[in-house]
Amino acid sequence: MKSLMATARNILLSVVEGKTSPIIEVVILVREPDYQFGADGEVQRDRTTETVRFVASPDGLRTMADNLHRWAAEAELIAGGKEE
């Protein structure tokens, strides 16, 4: 399973018919175990890094953030941790 390494963003501006709109490029770096047999026949584990990029509007990012916040709270509640 992939695990989160880091996040970043680039802010772009789209100009259509004189109207400027922000577009956010979201960059997510993830790592995943990669297993191979070494020269000695032993299993060796390495990590592969992957970059996931997508663009979203500010409203799209707010919706995504709301979902992530809700999922985190739900997971904590299931684990007997924090309550909202």
What are the tens digits of pLDDT across the range 47-68?
A: 999 999 999 999 999 999 999 9
Domain-located, residue 27: yes
The span from the CA of 31 to the CA of 50, in Å, is: 6
pLDDT the model gives residue 81 = 74
Domain-located, residue 11: yes
Ramachandran assignment for 69, one of left (phi > 0), alpha (psi -120 to 50 degrees), beta (any other): alpha
Q: Where residue 74 falls among pLDDT bands split at 50, 70, 90?
A: very high
Domain-located, residue 83: no
Domain-located, residue 9: yes
Domain-located, residue 22: yes
Mean pLDDT over all residues of the chain? Answer: 93
Q: Structurally, how many domains does the chain consist of?
A: 1
Domain range for 56: 3-78
